[in-house]
Amino acid sequence: MVIPESLNAFLLDTNQIAETTEVFDLVEKTLAYCMKLVQASSGIFFLVDASSKQLVVQSNQGEASGLKLTRKNLDISDSFPGECLENKRVLTTFDFSALDAQNPRHLDMETFVGHSIRNAVSLSLLCQNRPVGVIQLYNYQQLPVDLLEFVAGRMAPELDKLMYLLESRNTIRRLESLIGIMGGIGSTLDPTKILQLIIEDASNLLNVEASSLFLIDKESGDVTLQLSSNKEHTSMEHAVRVPAGKGVIGYVVQTGETVIVNDAKADIRHYTGVDSQVNFNTRSILAVPLKSHPINLGANRGSSLEQIIGGLEAINKRDGLFDAFDIKLMQSFASQAATVFQIAQMYKEANDLFVDALKALTAAIDEKDPYTQGHSQRVSEFSVAIATELGLDAETIHHIRIGSMLHDIGKIWIPDRILKKKGKLTANQYQKMKDHPATGEKIIGAVPMLKEESSAILEHHERLDGSGYPNGLKGDQISLMGRIVAVADAFDAMTSDRQYRQAMSVEEACQRLLSEAGTHFDPMIIQAILKAYQKGYIFTEHERDRS
């Protein structure tokens, strides 16, 4: 069997058109080729969108090409090309003047293409009996039925594969985006920042108009709107609160199930409370629980439990309806986000526990002597205020906060009779008193992770001119932390009542500091504490009592 020369050129043409791996390219070239075969005045290539049951114009050429199509999508069930597709015949011809003018499917085709139609031929592209696309050629002049049918059968499997490929590429793009997001969300341990990231990431990942994050109020069981990418939601004076179990989000948080609402108005589960409080029109919702994994806490520790901490809503998908892949992405994301949020909370708790326990213990030590009550805490606040004025970085400030709180820890070992003595100390007793920086450093020396803090303890009685103790360090030999705590300590001592004298006024204390600038204290640090005081960032013991 030999293929005739003329037919061979046709077959080679179609094979060549098929070589592309881009949907748009295949569609454009196929439509052009078909128009040439029939000498049509115009043509449209529709692709089938199975999820929305619509026909989407992918290419329009000839007379129709310059026109802006009135609508780009047609319902399969309610249009002329849809009718051709539904009858499952590859080729259908129409004499438009003979069509039933009463049939709503035929009425608006001329309006749709933007020119008058005498006749039309419609080619259905079916693959394994599934509709993939429709080619419509208007005002044809010849009709090589065999060739047209072959082209439809030739291109349908190619187009089908390209549609799968397009979907796969889209899937890959979204999975890669999820991977980027999952990586990014793990790079902060600030719970508040994580909530913000969750909201932004959910909106981007799902391509929605807004997303909202709800957390469970542990006491009432209600869910409260914590954050929303929709500004009106979160700028409200009162937090939006959804009673336990109410609405889509209440259901999701209670059951741990995922809920899709593609028509919010018609779904009785949609809790309109939020919409009516803010001026927002909810069309569709994808709501998933924020359920954290159980987290293994490490050596000598157990695990945190898997738990639902709240829920996440993606609202109003921009393009089409929420589908199974949206659910999958949103669930993966929400589970990771909830786990990262839990870890951040636990990290914060571990840090807070350390700081709070130190605060309680140093406060207890201060309180042995009623005259030093609250001293360590105030020195810590003053030191942090100074460090902030100096523009130090957050981690350095954190070490200063801890170090200054511990500066007098060595007083644990000073006997009561010296620590609480009403009269003047003997030389010997004073010598014992002066041991407290070194003993404090020794106590803290057992904790290698407090190495940076040790200079606050060891050096807060050193003086710039070398006349301080325990080591008589001079100028820059004293660490910045030591110099800061020295000023904070002196300022609090001067402005508090002591066993042996009344508190100085703030003015007097400032004068005293300034008079010792350069000899005892670092002038730059004195300026910093004065500024912090003037700005109202710190309060002396007496100012606290009054408030």
324-367 helix and 191-206 helix, angle to the nearest 10 degrees: 170
Cβ at position 544, least distance to a copy of itself in Å? 16
Cβ at position 224, least distance to a copy of itself in Å? 20
Cβ at position 206, least distance to a copy of itself in Å? 16
Residue of 25, 30, 3, 27 whose CA lies nearest to 14: 30
Cβ at position 402, least distance to a copy of itself in Å? 9
Residue 418: strand, helix, or coil? helix
Q: Is 261 left (phi over 0), alpha (psi -120 to 50) or beta?
A: beta
Among residues 22 and 232, whose Cβ is nearest to a copy of itself?
Answer: 22
What residue has token string 């109020």?
Answer: 217
Among residues 193 and 535, whose Cβ is nearest to a copy of itself?
Answer: 193
Residue 224 φ then ψ, to 5°: -115, 140
| Token output for 203 | 């909106």
| Token output for 15 | 């094979």
Cβ at position 182, least distance to a copy of itself in Å? 5
Hey, how many other C-beta atoms are within 10 angstroms of the C-beta on 143?
Answer: 15
Among residues 156 and 530, whose Cβ is nearest to a copy of itself?
Answer: 156
Residue 238: strand, helix, or coil? coil
Among residues 210 and 358, whose Cβ is nearest to a copy of itself?
Answer: 358
CA distances from 261 to 148, 215, 268, 284, 297 (A): 43, 20, 10, 5, 37
Among residues 2 and 101, whose Cβ is nearest to a copy of itself?
Answer: 2
User: Which residues are bridge partners to 211 per DSSP?
Assistant: 314
Cβ at position 30, least distance to a copy of itself in Å? 12
Cβ at position 207, least distance to a copy of itself in Å? 18
Residue 438: strand, helix, or coil? helix
Cβ at position 116, least distance to a copy of itself in Å? 29
Among residues 264 and 338, whose Cβ is nearest to a copy of itself?
Answer: 338
Among residues 450 and 485, whose Cβ is nearest to a copy of itself?
Answer: 450
- Contacts of residue 342, defined as CB under 8 A and 6 or more positions apart, other chains included, come to 292, 295, 304, 307, 309
Among residues 105 and 407, whose Cβ is nearest to a copy of itself?
Answer: 407
Q: Dihedral (C-alpha) 499, 504, 510, 516: value to the nearest 10 degrees? A: -50
Residue 280: strand, helix, or coil? coil
Among residues 74 and 199, whose Cβ is nearest to a copy of itself?
Answer: 199
Cβ at position 266, least distance to a copy of itself in Å? 34
Distance CA(437)–CA(455), nearest Å, equals 9
Distance CA(463)–CA(485), nearest Å, equals 12
Among residues 236 and 425, whose Cβ is nearest to a copy of itself?
Answer: 425
Distance CA(221)–CA(242), nearest Å, equals 10
Residue 525: strand, helix, or coil? helix
Among residues 20 and 73, whose Cβ is nearest to a copy of itself?
Answer: 20
Residue 177: strand, helix, or coil? helix
Residue of 174, 173, 191, 175 whose CA lies nearest to 337: 191
What residue has token string 């904790």?
Answer: 447
Residue of 289, 311, 309, 299 whose CA lies nearest to 212: 311
Among residues 371 and 413, whose Cβ is nearest to a copy of itself?
Answer: 413
- 110 residue type, one letter: E
Cβ at position 133, least distance to a copy of itself in Å? 14
What residue has token string 């026909």?
Answer: 55
Cβ at position 373, least distance to a copy of itself in Å? 12
Distance CA(490)–CA(168), nearest Å, equals 69
Q: Dihedral (C-alpha) 158, 159, 164, 167: value to the nearest 10 degrees? A: 140
| Planar angle of CA 360, 361, 364, nearest 5 degrees | 85
Cβ at position 55, least distance to a copy of itself in Å? 21
R_g of the chain, CA atoms, integer Å: 38
Cβ at position 39, least distance to a copy of itself in Å? 14
Among residues 169 and 231, whose Cβ is nearest to a copy of itself?
Answer: 169
